[in-house]
Each structure stands twice: as structure tokens, then as C-alpha cells.
Structure 1
Amino acid sequence: MRIGLFTDAYYPEISGVATSVYELRNSLTEAGHEVFVFTVSNSEVEPSDYSEINTYRIPSMPLITMKERRIGIPFLKNYMKIIKKLELDLIHTHTEISLGNLGKRAARKFELPHVHTYHTLYENYIHYFKIPENDFTFSLVGKFVKNFTEKCDLIIVPTEKVVESMKQYKIIKPLKVIPTGLDLDKFQNIDWKYAAEIRRRYGIEQDDMVLISICRISQEKKLDKIIRYFKKLSQTTSKIKLLIVGDGPARNELEELSAKLGLTDQVIFTGYVDWDRIQDYYAAGNIFVSASQSETQGLTYAEALAVGIPLLVRQDACLKNVLYHKQNGYGFSDKDDFINGYHFISDKLAKDPKWGSRSKIFSKQDFSDAIISTYEEVCLAVSSYVGINQI
């Protein structure tokens, strides 16, 4: 098949959507399909990079309220000509703004099957737009999503949590749950010497227990809670560090909070790190932590498990089939439960250093098989519908 992927988030950007689309593109290509990616420009990417094969980078600008994110400025006439020449069999959109709209318009114009993956629960990001968070603004999110998806042939969502959100939006289009699969080879191929070097670089001793967070450092990730919980935890145990990997708009605020709480020597901020080494950063930690409830899937949780470290995370509906409470981690509900969870996991690891590392992870191959099967079903259904209409 000749497949067009349309997204405002793509490699080398670090985000769940960017990772999901990049892994999808690679999986489909490895399965023998021709994949064409339409995405935003990025000055950090090399034109010779593998990611740029059949990739169309559209001029873009930073979002006013999220400057590390970009929005494309597609010149419709120019790109419609390109899309027409590609003779695509199917369009798969992954964002609802500029590039998603380009894909949506192209699907309608060229009468192509249109699949959309809904990745982002926008109600968790309203604060970026400096408007009140209330029932009215939440209803606007539903109307926005419903308007974008009304002509789609199928909507893919990563978890049942998102199915429930789509019901609240009053979406009536067919839905299918397909989580993003991981490249298990990447996350199980650890450079242990490099992981040890990471610990040395940040002054982490061999017997320190490292709680690690890997994410975009932003308000919705609730790292302020993790830092406050960590402060309380540090009063109950010694030899612990909190390693926060990533960058984002809340970093300065969180560094100030750490200093205010007297945690400068225990809470470590690495800043942005190279995606090619991300598995080694996971391996530098002992327990993965998160208090976020904004995730639609939580790829980082699965990545941590794939590396072999257990989870200490806020209970959330997106973690069904990922977190198995007291089997591969601990789902906490509040500060005291976080502390109880840490001691539970710490005791388990003292008895068995590999505790929690035997999780079954939805793989890149599982993901590819499910997506390809879905594409085939959609194409068949659309062709049958067109055939009936032509009779």
C-alpha cells in the first residue's frame, strides 16, 4: 500500500505522538509498504537522516503558547499537487491542526480512505491557552474533536481511557483500540557502561536508589507533586536520588521548587537528551515514577518496563494492561501511598533485583500487524461503500 501519514509532531521531536508516528512509519516500511510523511520543518534534523526518506517537511512556526512545539503553514495548492502525484491508497492523520487538516482535506478531495489516530486529551492542555478550565471550555474540546473526525472512516485510539473520552465528546464514528508498540530491540539493548557513566556524571553512587522520570517537563506531568512526595520520602530513607530526564516550560519552576525544599543535591535535571540513548537513561534508574494523569497511553511507562525497571506511578485508566499493581510496580493514590509504594518496591528489589522486569510489552510487530489489518479493513469497507453507491 501507498500510505500518507500527516502529523505536526514527528522525529526528532521528543513526545508521545512523535514517537508513535515515527515507529509506525518504520514498522510499515519494514513490512514492505511505501510510506510518505507530511510534517513540520525542524532545523535539528539532517536531510540525509533515515527519518527523511519520503518525508515532506512543511514550513512551520513555533506555537505561541508552546514554543517547543511547531505548527505547519501548508500552502494547500502546492501540497495538494504533491499528494495527488503520490497516488496514495490511504491517508492516516495523527494531529488535528495544520498537518492533520491538510490530510483531512486531501482525503476528501481525492476520495481516499481516511483513518485518524486521536492521541491527545486536549482538556489537559487548556491552561496553555490562558483561558478558564470549566465545563464550557471542555465542551469546546469535544466540538473541536467531533468536527475534525466527522468525515473519518475510522478513529484509532491507544487505550480504553480515550474511548471513554470520545463517548463524552459524542463521537459516533467507529473506534478501534490499538496501542503504540515498542521497538523492543532498542529498549532491551542497553549499553550498561554508558548507563553507569550517566550515574557517575550526575554524582550518583553505586548504592543510591534512583527514581527516574522521563518526559516533557510541563505542568500536566505533575512533576511538582513527585518532587514534594520525594521530599517526604527522603525523610524516611537515605541514599535516594530523583533523576528528571527531559526539558520543557516548567523546568525552571521545578528547579526553584527543588532548591526551596532543600533538594538541590538529590533532585537532578539532565535537560534534553539524545533519543538514540534514551534506553541507557532508563537503565541508569531503579524505579520509574510519574504522577501524570494526562496520558492517553503513557509510552514512557511501557519503555521503562521494557528496559526492566518497575513503575511507581499514579493510578490511571490508561495503565490498564501496562501496570499490574504489586507485580511490575505500584499504583499510588496520594503522598502517603507513594511512600508506601516506594518501600514496597525497594523491598522487592532487595530480594530480587529483576523484580518487575518480566512484563509482556505490546511490540512494534504487534502494532504493525494491527495497523495493517485495520487499513485493509477500512479500504475494503470504503470500496464496498463506493461500489454500492455506484450501482
Structure 2
Amino acid sequence: MRIALVSDCYLPRLGGIELQVHDLAVQLIRDGHEVTVFTITDGPSSGDVPVVRLPALGGVPLPAAIDRLRTLLPRFDVVHCHSSLVSPLAWRAARLADNPFLTLHSLPSASTPWPLARIDRYVGSVRWTAVSETVADVLRDLLPGRPIGVLHNGVDPVLWRQGRRTDHTLTIVSTMRLVRRKRPLATLRILEEIRAAVPSAVELRAVVVGDGPQTAATARAVRRRGLSGWVDLPGRLTRFEIQQLYASADVYLAPAGLESFGVAALEARCAGLAVVAMASGGVGEFVRPGVEGYLVHSDAEMAATAAVLLDDRAELSRIQAFNRHTDPAMTWKNVVAQHLAAYSTRRVLTRQDLASTA
């Protein structure tokens, strides 16, 4: 099958949608399909995936880019467009393609109007999907009557199961892009509350991985709050470096309230960390309370829950062992099968489909 994946954002820029589109392409190629990524992100190709980098100005594809899409997309059996909240290339490709898929990777805020109905009219006849049921529910509310399916993000659990190191300080980790939406400053306040709640005799370490526009503000907050002695900000790390970090970590915090899926949390869960996440996002599709971790509804509840876990070694060890030895549903094997079934039938299973076959 010849498959075009269209994403405004792609490697070498790093982020959830960028890495997921790349990894999906790699997995489909390994399965024997011909895959090409179309993007307006500049940079060299990684070599493992064919990439067409189209000209753009200020994040908007130029007429020459549209001409190339119009010429090249008809050569593919499937056009799968990947959209965040603002994705002019993906939307234009969806408008040009014949019966494309359009997957939403972001979770719109209820307080911020998002003109989805206008986007839907613009792209025309597409198959809307989402990376989680949480995002799909938003689409169903905004596009009543439209069948909305789910095409999950994926993970390779084996890559994240490094040898566990048992002789380490109890360690809390959070991996994020340091932007307001991911709430790095709130994360520091949560860590401060955790430290106050856990007995002072218990040594703790915390690591907030990532960089972004709030890097400087986050570093200042660490110093201002007197957290420098136990909270590290290593900046951006490679996947391998994150895997090594997780091998000697215990609890993963996912403080973002608008987490569409939570790939970083899923990777941490596969590495054997207990995950404490906001219940409002998509993490709940692979974290069940008391099984893979806990879901909370506020910063105070996140701090209290994490503190109890860190102080209850038996409960923490039980969750960690389950996560290390149990694959989530979103392995790449399952996710690729999910995508190929949708591509072949030109449809995706909706919640109503699943209910009717139960």
C-alpha cells in the first residue's frame, strides 16, 4: 500500500506529533508499505523515512507547496493527515485528497473557541479520527452526527524496559515541552508539596526533562523556591538518555490538564514507573487507578497521591512490577493493525461500532 502521511510539524523538530508521525511511518515501512511524509518543517531527512519538505512562509504553505500536493497526492492509496489545533498544510492536503483520514492530535480547551465546524466545511469529505477517546469526545460534541473514530498513538514497550536499578534515591520524573500548556511551573509547586508531605528522613530526587519557551522561567522558579538541592532540569534529552533516566526512577507526573494522549506518560508506564496523571486528559486510556498508577483532579490531589505512593513502598513496587511486565494496548503491533484495518476498509471503528459488537 502507498501511504502519504501529512504533518505540518515533523523531525528534526521534537514533539509528540513529530515523533509519532515518524514512528508510524517507520512501523508501516517495516510492515512492507511504501510511506512518504509531507511536511513544511525544514531540516535534513533522517534517512529511514522518505520526506517531502514543502516551502512555507510563517507556517503557511506557499502556492508551490499546494501545487506539489495536488500533483503527488493522487499517486497514493491512502492520505493520512495529522492535525494539531493549527495545521494549514494538513487541512489543505485533506481538502485536496480523495477520501483522506484526518487525525486530531490536540485537545482543545473548553475556554478557547476552536472553529472546528469551519475547518470541517473547508476540508470536505474526510474521515475524522482522534488519538484518544478523550479527543474523540470533543470532536463528537463539536461535530454532532459525524462518525468519529480513534487511531491511537503507539509505543514499543521493549525499548523502554531497561534494566531496573534498585539502589537509587526515590525519584520523581516529568518529561514535557516547557510551555505554559504543559504546566512546568505548576509541576514545581506540586513537587514542593510532595517534599513537604513525605517524611524529611526520606531522600527524594526530581527531574523535569525538556526545554521550551519557559525554560528560563522554570530555572528561576527552581532557585527562588529553594529546590535546587533535589530538583534537576537537564533540558532536552535523547530517547536513550530518557530511557536510562527511567531505569532509576519511580513515579511519573503528568500535570497537563489538556493532554490529548500522553505519549511520554505511556513510555514511562512501559519503563515501570507508577504514573500519576490528570484525569481530564487522554492518559486515562492506559492508566487505571490502582493498576498502572492513579488519576487525579487537582494539583493538590496529585501531590498528595504521589506522596502516599512514595511513602508506601509495597504499593509502589506492586504498580511498578505490573507496568514492567504487562504491555499496554497501544503497542505498535496493535496500533499498526488498527491503522491498516482503517486504511483497507476506508473506515474506523467508532464507539457505536464497538458497542454494537460487544
Q: Which residue of 1 aligns with 2:55?
A: 59
Between the aligned partners of 1:335 and 1:113, the Cα distance in structure 2 is 43
3-state SS of paired residue (2:290): coil
Structure 1 residues 379, 286: CA separation in 2 closer, same or farther (over 3 Å shift)? closer
Q: Which residue of 2 aligns with 1:344?
A: 308
3-state SS of paired residue (1:304): helix
Between the aligned partners of 1:97 and 1:105, the Cα distance in structure 2 is 12
* Cα offset, 1:226, TM superposition: 1.9
* Cα offset, 1:291, TM superposition: 1.3
Structure 1 residues 340, 247: CA separation in 2 closer, same or farther (over 3 Å shift)? same
Q: Which residue of 2 aligns with 1:106?
A: 96
3-state SS of paired residue (1:235): helix
* Cα offset, 1:73, TM superposition: 4.0
Q: Report if aligned partners of 1:157, 1:179 keep a CA contact under 8 Å in 2.
A: yes
Q: Which residue of 1 aligns with 2:231?
A: 267
Q: Report if aligned partners of 2:99, 2:125 keep a CA contact under 8 Å in 1.
A: no
Between the aligned partners of 2:54 and 2:2, the Cα distance in structure 1 is 20
1:372 to 335, 340, 348: 340
2:189 to 228, 249, 265: 228
Amino acid in the other structure paired with 1:271: G
3-state SS of paired residue (2:125): coil
Query: Percent identical across equivalent pairs?
Result: 19
Matches within 5 A, 1:169-180: 169-180=142-153
Amino acid in the other structure paired with 1:98: P
Q: Report if aligned partners of 1:328, 1:357 keep a CA contact under 8 Å in 2.
A: no
Between the aligned partners of 1:280 and 1:173, the Cα distance in structure 2 is 44
Unpaired segments of 5 or more residues in structure 1?
64-69, 125-133, 197-204, 381-391
Offset from partner CA, 1:214-249 (integer Å, 9 cap, x none): 111111112222211211222233411220111111
Are 1:83 and 2:79 an aligned pair?
A: no
Q: Report if aligned partners of 1:142, 1:169 keep a CA contact under 8 Å in 2.
A: yes
* Cα offset, 1:177, TM superposition: 1.6
Between the aligned partners of 2:301 and 2:115, the Cα distance in structure 1 is 33
Unpaired segments of 5 or more residues in structure 2?
349-358
* Cα offset, 1:13, TM superposition: 2.6
Q: Which residue of 1 aligns with 2:120?
A: 146
Matches within 5 A, 1:230-245: 230-237=191-198, 238=200, 239-245=203-209
Between the aligned partners of 2:50 and 2:99, the Cα distance in structure 1 is 20
Q: Report if aligned partners of 1:122, 1:141 keep a CA contact under 8 Å in 2.
A: no
Between the aligned partners of 2:122 and 2:286, the Cα distance in structure 1 is 30
Offset from partner CA, 1:283-337 (integer Å, 9 cap, x none): 2422101211111111111111111111122222523331111222122333442
3-state SS of paired residue (1:330): strand
Amino acid in the other structure paired with 2:192: K
TM-score (norm 2): 0.85
3-state SS of paired residue (1:356): helix
Q: Which residue of 1 aligns with 2:33?
A: 33
3-state SS of paired residue (2:212): coil
Offset from partner CA, 1:253-301 (integer Å, 9 cap, x none): 1222222211122221111122343322332422101211111111111
Between the aligned partners of 2:181 and 2:340, the Cα distance in structure 1 is 33
Between the aligned partners of 2:265 and 2:294, the Cα distance in structure 1 is 12
Q: Which residue of 2 aligns with 1:389?
A: none
3-state SS of paired residue (1:23): helix
Are 1:159 and 2:132 an aligned pair?
A: yes
Aligned-pair Cα RMSD in Å = 2.7
3-state SS of paired residue (1:123): coil
Structure 1 residues 369, 351: CA separation in 2 closer, same or farther (over 3 Å shift)? closer
Whichever of the two has the greater Rg, that structure is 1
3-state SS of paired residue (2:310): helix
Are 1:214 and 2:186 an aligned pair?
A: no
Offset from partner CA, 1:39-92 (integer Å, 9 cap, x none): 12333x4x4x334x421112345x6xxxxxx665461464136505x7211211
Between the aligned partners of 1:80 and 1:317, the Cα distance in structure 2 is 34
* Cα offset, 1:379, TM superposition: 7.8
Amino acid in the other structure paired with 1:14: L
* Cα offset, 1:38, TM superposition: 0.4
Structure 1 residues 213, 287: CA separation in 2 closer, same or farther (over 3 Å shift)? same
